[in-house]
């Protein structure tokens, strides 16, 4: 990105001053090096989002921002229904409620290290992953609607997962306002056999160990210590969410003129929040959030069973589950007034700080865990929501490393076998049905996740708590 | 750039992938609009596996319609994504007919075989990003867009 187009407010804050049809400024939180590496399309997309009706405060880009669909990936924007605000299918993305959850195991690296090959094989066998994979749960139409209304609560009620998990999931495991009747038959068909599946691409299941603690007090509150073994699960609403995204994007493109919305980019398709189409999308999107929450809960159940087969004394406890592709109704301070806003986070994580009323009691004094996925060869991070995040970014932070190289380039540069062997040499076991898939996800194809979280901390979005490195990675 | 080209006399059918930040661009070129739709469908398959590895054993019929031909292109690819996902199939050959922004097509393929196809990635959906459907100066048709994976 051309730095001369931006106003530098600090080492990690850059503004696109409002011009043309922009209603609010664009604000990019990133170091100079990260901004320079960002695609010029990010600039264009941040600016386009700032033109949408009813937008409040700013169009934000997180430190891992990259070229997305309409919104940049790493984009955050909030809209006020009372000011003609919109909801955008592109602003949520195709993989609705894609997210990360982190489980502690009660085990340390020295216990797991000798067992990791068995664990890798057992996890790979237990959790369906990759193209064409199907889950062991098959939903009829009644159960499909119950799942879409109930989310992780539905999964726990059916014996997948533990009741104690629910308070450690955003929305307590069940997104209110879901309307299964707004989810098409096509979308439901895509999901019928996909519950409890990981998917492919950048989705993963990792066994990791804590290699560094940055904030001892918060780490203790999150029950994280150096040498602890933890598990990360990264996936979303699978085929159902993809189909909902596809269908509503088209409907919003076609209906935009009837709502008097001039789209600078078709992918920015949106509808007024209070319109029938906006309400239908919100109902379907919330059902997809529940699908993602149920899916990650089922996978957690499968992981617990696999672990207990290999290490019977393992006790897998959920730290937290965060989603990073959502639109949620939240209260925020705008010009000294509390407003109810529809906050879009596309590739951005909610990062509520200490004292936020929406946090479960266990995190209310420290801020919520913010889980940042890395690559299979680098690191992931646990952050905590900063008290300044509300003012800085509507309580939002980054979500991952972000790609620095296309899949296409990565597949030309690396071979899957080569990556698997190199990582094995460093003690990281990869299990994947696809060699090319591994090459496309090569660690070198991503930005430096450490630079991303450093920028997020420097900008006051979230605070570093712990660094995690992979031991085993199961990919689709 | 990943390419596959078949030349018959002066008629050129080709598909390829082009880079996109996080995902993959698919492009088809052919002597007619229908051929370009067939070629971009091969590029779609190529995101997952080499289309030549897919046996065209079973026909699946697909139809869709849209207010314009470029929107029809996205609908066509999304219809294939749906068929691949719900039937757990891959397709290696396509036949397309288009009239008044209505498409009728047959896709031939087989069930996903992990060993033989080594599928790289699932496709979430076709997007309007870099969407282009055009008749080029040399008379060939070009069809392209980015798919989210």
Model confidence pLDDT, tens digit, residues A403-441: 888 888 898 899 999 999 999 999 999 999 888 899 999
Nearest chain A Cα distance for residue B121, angstroms: 6
CB pairs < 8 Å spanning A and B: 124
Chain B positions contacting chain A at CB under 8 Å are: 1-2, 17-25, 48, 67, 71, 74-75, 78, 81-82, 85-86, 88, 111-112, 114, 117-122, 124-129, 131, 148-149
**pLDDT, tens only, A441-463:** 999 999 899 999 999 999 999 99
Q: Do the Cβ atoms of B80 and B51 come closer than 8 Å?
A: no
| Mean pLDDT, range A317-342, rounded to an integer | 96
Closest Cα in chain A to B113? A132
Q: How many helices (H) and strands (E) does chain B have?
A: 3, 9
Q: Do the Cβ atoms of A348 and A396 come closer than 8 Å?
A: yes
Within 13 A of A213's CA, how many CA atoms are on the CB side? 14
Work out the widest C-alpha separation in chain A, in whole angstroms: 63
pLDDT attached to residue B6 = 54
Among the partner-chain residues A69, A73, A200, the one whose CB lies closest to the CB of B121 is A200
* Beta carbons of A434 and B75 less than 8 Å apart: no
| pLDDT confidence band for B7 (50 / 70 / 90) | very low
Residue A452, both tokens:
């991303």
The residues, any chain, with a CB within 8 Å of residue A217's CB and separated by 6 or more, are A366
Beta bridge partners of B7: B12
Residue A247 main-chain phi, psi, to 5 deg: -70, -45
| Mean pLDDT, range A149-177, rounded to an integer | 97
Query: What whole-number distance in Å separates Cα of residue A310 and Cα of residue A126?
Result: 12
The CATH number of A3-404+446-475 is: 3.90.1860.10
Q: Which of B1, B71, B73, B62 is nearest to B30 (CA)?
A: B73
Nearest chain A Cα distance for residue B98, angstroms: 20
Give me the number of domains chain B comprises. 1
- Provide the 3-class DSSP secondary structure of residue A188: helix
Question: Which chain B residues are Cβ-neighbours of A199 within 8 angstroms?
Answer: 122
| Mean pLDDT, range A325-341, rounded to an integer | 96
Residue B9 confidence (pLDDT) above 50: no
- Provide the 3-class DSSP secondary structure of residue A229: strand
Q: Which of A350, A353, A377, A375 is nearest to A363 (CA)?
A: A353
**pLDDT, tens only, A21-70:** 999 999 999 999 999 999 999 999 999 999 999 999 999 999 999 988 99
The mean pLDDT value of chain A amounts to 96
* Beta carbons of B22 and A73 less than 8 Å apart: yes
The complex scores an ipTM of 0.91
* Domain of residue B144, residue span: 3-148
Query: What whole-number distance in Å separates Cα of residue A69 and Cα of residue A58?
Result: 19
**pLDDT, tens only, B80-139:** 999 999 999 999 999 999 998 899 999 999 999 999 999 999 999 999 999 999 999 999
CATH (domain of B35): 3.55.10.10
Q: Do the Cβ atoms of A271 and A226 come closer than 8 Å?
A: no
pLDDT attached to residue B3 = 57
Q: Which of A201-215, A306-320, A399-413 has the lowest mean pLDDT?
A: A399-413
Chain A positions contacting chain B at CB under 8 Å are: 39, 41, 66-69, 73, 93-95, 130-132, 134, 186, 189-190, 199-201, 239, 242-243, 245-246, 249-250, 253-254, 265-267, 403, 406-409, 411, 433-437, 440, 476
* Beta carbons of B125 and A94 less than 8 Å apart: yes
């Amino acid at each position: 990105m051309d730095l001369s187009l931006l106003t530098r407010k600090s080492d990690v804050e850059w503004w696109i001053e409002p011009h043309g049809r922009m209603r609010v400024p664009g604000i990019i939180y990133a170091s100079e090096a990260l901004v320079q590496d960002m695609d010029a399309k990010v600039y264009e997309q941040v600016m386009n989002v700032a033109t949408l009706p009813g937008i409040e405060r700013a169009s934000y880009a997180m430190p891992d921002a990259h070229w997305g669909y309409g919104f940049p990936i790493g984009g955050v924007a909030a809209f006020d229904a009372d000011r003609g605000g919109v909801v955008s299918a592109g602003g949520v993305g195709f993989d609705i409620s894609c997210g990360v959850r982190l489980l502690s195991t009660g085990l340390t690296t020295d216990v797991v290290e000798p067992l990791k090959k068995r664990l890798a094989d057992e996890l790979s066998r237990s959790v369906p992953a990759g193209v064409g994979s199907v889950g062991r749960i098959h939903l009829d139409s009644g159960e499909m609607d119950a799942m879409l209304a109930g989310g992780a609560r539905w999964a726990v009620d059916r014996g997948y997962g533990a009741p104690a998990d629910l308070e450690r999931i955003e929305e307590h495991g069940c997104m209110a306002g879901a309307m299964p009747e707004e989810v098409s038959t096509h979308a439901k068909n895509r999901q019928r056999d996909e519950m409890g599946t990981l998917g492919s691409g950048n989705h993963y299941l990792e066994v990791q160990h804590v290699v560094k603690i940055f904030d001892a007090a918060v780490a203790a509150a999150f029950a994280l210590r150096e040498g602890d073994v933890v598990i990360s699960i990264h996936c979303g609403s699978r085929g159902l969410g993809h189909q909902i995204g596809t269908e509503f994007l088209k409907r919003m493109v076609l209906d935009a003129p009837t709502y008097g919305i001039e789209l600078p980019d078709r992918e920015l398709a949106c509808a007024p929040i209070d319109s029938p189409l906006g309400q239908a999308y919100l109902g379907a999107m919330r059902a997809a959030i529940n699908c993602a929450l149920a899916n990650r809960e089922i996978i957690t159940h499968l992981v617990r069973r696999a672990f207990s087969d290999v290490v019977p004394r393992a006790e897998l406890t959920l730290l937290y589950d965060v989603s990073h592709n959502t639109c949620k109704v939240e209260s925020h301070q705008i010009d000294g007034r509390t407003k109810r806003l529809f906050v879009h986070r596309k590739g951005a994580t909610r990062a509520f700080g200490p004292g936020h009323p929406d946090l479960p009691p266990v995190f209310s004094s420290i801020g919520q865990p913010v889980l940042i996925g890395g690559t299979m060869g680098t690191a992931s991070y646990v952050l905590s929501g900063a008290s300044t995040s509300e003012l800085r970014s509507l309580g939002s932070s980054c979500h991952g490393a972000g790609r620095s190289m296309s899949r296409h380039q990565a597949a030309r540069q690396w071979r899957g076998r080569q990556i698997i062997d190199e990582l094995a040499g460093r003690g990281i076991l990869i299990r994947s049905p696809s060699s090319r898939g591994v090459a496309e996800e090569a660690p070198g194809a991503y930005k430096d996740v450490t630079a991303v979280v450093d920028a997020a901390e420097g900008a006051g979005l979230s605070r570093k708590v712990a660094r995690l490195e992979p031991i085993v990675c199961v990919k689709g | 750039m990943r390419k596959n080209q078949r030349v018959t006399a002066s008629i050129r059918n080709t598909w390829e992938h082009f880079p996109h930040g996080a995902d993959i661009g698919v492009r088809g070129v052919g002597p007619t609009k229908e051929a370009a739709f067939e070629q971009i469908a091969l590029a779609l398959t190529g995101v997952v596996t080499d289309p030549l590895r897919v046996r065209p054993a079973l026909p699946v019929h697909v139809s869709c319609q849209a207010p314009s031909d470029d929107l029809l292109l996205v609908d066509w690819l999304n219809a294939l994504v749906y068929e691949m996902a719900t039937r757990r199939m891959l397709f290696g050959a396509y036949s397309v007919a288009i009239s008044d922004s209505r498409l009728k097509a047959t896709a031939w393929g087989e069930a996903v075989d992990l060993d033989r196809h080594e599928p790289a990635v699932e496709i979430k959906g076709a997007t309007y990003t870099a969407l282009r459907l055009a008749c080029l100066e040399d008379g060939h048709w070009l069809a392209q867009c980015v798919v989210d994976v």
